[in-house]
């Protein structure tokens, strides 16, 4: 962990507690395991101070429940005291696997349902917790981040609403547009990216990559992901390119202008390994089309790295694209719900973000700097240096 010396000398804001909402239960349990290990291993000068009881615990997860009535209405209830605690609420608004009964019918939880349950637990904690922090990896309504015409401004309003309920800090990952934080300028807003985890996962699973300008290139699938691609390419020391989406602005399909074609802007990729980096795979149609064009341009291999793998249309299209050789690997994180069948696919790799998230919580609980966590440039340089030296026996 970076800045370990700072943690050893820092005083915690308040005793730490985590609420892992139902959709993020599995991730929350892994984060809790890391935090328990961190606190046992660290030599913090305040760990035995009677004023800081609860610094070292066997479990930081809060017991709670979010039951529903037969009408579909719900409530949030904390089953233990959180008075004076530094509370972190972890929520995955994209977990569609959870269900509840309403008038005898089985409903799958939508992002709106997860958001309402989050508000219920915040309402149960408001006025009791020392500080309330929301960890929402996939920002609720993050793609509705700006207004065009007579539209709702959902993401900004959600942040404003949570702020009014007493939330002090928002922690998210790879926000579609980080400028939504302007809706709550007096609240903390930290936006993290999994660039280091992508690099580590890819290098640990591919032993014959050559990370230089002659053999590797980073591609942005659209103009919105260009900043991510430029940063990742710069850190790796390779070139970058991009596609732009040519749309038909004369009609609207499923709420948006349909894509006519993906046009490539960049250098020759003949014989190079290509890393596509983006924030999410939704239906995946654009990603598959981008990969197909890259292979037609004689790319050697195509690796897709996306923070959130939603796969809203299922995996059939990706299975067919893999069989046709359009791409070689897909890497997503465990920050959102992962389809169980995806874990069995030969082309899939998962970047584990639980240790990273636990580190973020630990640093924030001590009010120490997150600079090195926000920009892990040195860590990426280190693993690339080790990889290029072919010290493959070292686990990054």
> For residue range 87-139, what is the model confidence (pLDDT) as tens digits?
999 999 999 999 999 998 999 999 999 999 999 999 999 889 999 999 999 99
Rg (CA), the chain: 22
Cα gap 17→40, rounded to integer Å:
16
pLDDT at 49: 65
Distance CA 351, CA 382 (A): 18
**pLDDT tens figures, 49-89:** 665 677 788 999 999 999 999 898 999 999 999 999 999 99
Cα–Cα distance measured from residue 157 to residue 183, given in angstroms and rounded to the nearest whole number = 7
pLDDT of residue 61: 97
pLDDT mean over 193-209: 93
Average pLDDT over residues 295-312: 95
Average pLDDT score over the chain = 89
Reported confidence tier of residue 335, pLDDT bands at 50, 70, 90: very high
| First and final C-alpha spacing in the chain | 13
d(CA 205, CA 199): 10
Of 227, 115, 197, the residue nearest 161 (C-alpha): 115
Q: Residue 135: beta bridge partners?
A: 90, 171
pLDDT one-digit tens code per residue, 169-180:
999 999 988 889
Q: What is the pLDDT of residue 43?
A: 66
Neighbours of 371 (CB within 10 A): 9
pTM exceeding 0.85:
yes
Alpha helices in the chain (DSSP H): 4-9, 25-41, 111-125, 154-164, 195-205, 226-236, 285-296, 316-323, 354-365, 371-374, 377-388
pLDDT digits (tens, 9 = 90+) for 202-261: 999 998 999 999 999 999 988 777 888 999 999 999 999 988 776 666 677 666 666 666
Range 261-277 average pLDDT: 86
Q: What is the pLDDT of residue 395?
A: 47
| Secondary structure class of 240 (helix, strand, coil) | strand
């Amino acid at each position: 962990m970076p800045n370990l010396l700072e943690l050893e000398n820092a005083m915690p804001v308040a005793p730490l507690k985590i609420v892992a909402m139902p959709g993020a239960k599995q991730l929350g349990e892994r984060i809790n395991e890391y935090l328990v290990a961190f606190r046992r291993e660290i030599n913090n000068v305040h760990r035995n101070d009677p004023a800081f009881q609860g610094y070292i615990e066997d479990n930081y997860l809060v017991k709670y429940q979010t039951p529903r009535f037969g009408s579909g209405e719900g409530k949030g209830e904390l089953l233990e005291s959180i008075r004076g605690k530094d509370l972190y609420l972890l929520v995955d608004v994209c977990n569609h696997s959870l269900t509840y009964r309403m008038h005898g019918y089985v409903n799958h939880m939508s992002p709106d349902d997860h958001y309402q349950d989050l508000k219920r637990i915040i309402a149960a904690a408001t006025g009791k917790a020392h500080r309330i922090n929301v960890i929402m990896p996939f920002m609720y309504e993050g793609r509705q981040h700006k207004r065009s015409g007579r539209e709702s401004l959902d993401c900004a309003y959600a942040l404003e609403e949570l702020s009014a309920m007493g939330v002090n800090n928002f922690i998210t990952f790879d926000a579609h547009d980080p400028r939504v934080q302007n809706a709550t300028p007096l609240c903390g807003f930290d936006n993290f990216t999994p660039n280091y985890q992508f690099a580590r996962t890819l290098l640990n699973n591919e032993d014959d990559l050559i990370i230089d300008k002659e053999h590797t290139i980073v591609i942005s699938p659209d103009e919105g992901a260009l900043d991510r691609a430029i940063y990742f390419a710069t850190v790796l020391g390779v070139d970058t390119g991009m596609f732009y989406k040519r749309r038909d602005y004369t009609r609207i399909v499923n709420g948006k202008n349909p894509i006519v074609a993906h046009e490539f802007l960049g250098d020759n990729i003949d014989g190079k390994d290509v890393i596509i980096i983006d924030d999410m795979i939704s239906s995946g149609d654009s990603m598959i089309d981008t990969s197909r064009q890259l292979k037609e341009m004689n790319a050697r291999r195509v690796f897709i790295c996306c923070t959130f793998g939603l796969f809203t249309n299922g995996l059939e299209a990706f299975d067919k694209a893999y069989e046709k050789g359009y791409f070689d690997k897909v890497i997503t994180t465990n920050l959102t719900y992962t389809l169980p069948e995806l874990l069995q696919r030969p082309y899939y790799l998962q970047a584990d973000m639980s240790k990273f998230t636990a580190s973020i919580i630990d640093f924030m609980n001590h009010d120490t700097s997150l600079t090195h966590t926000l920009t892990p440039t040195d860590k990426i340089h280190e693993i690339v240096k080790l990889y290029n030296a072919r010290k493959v026996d070292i686990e990054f």
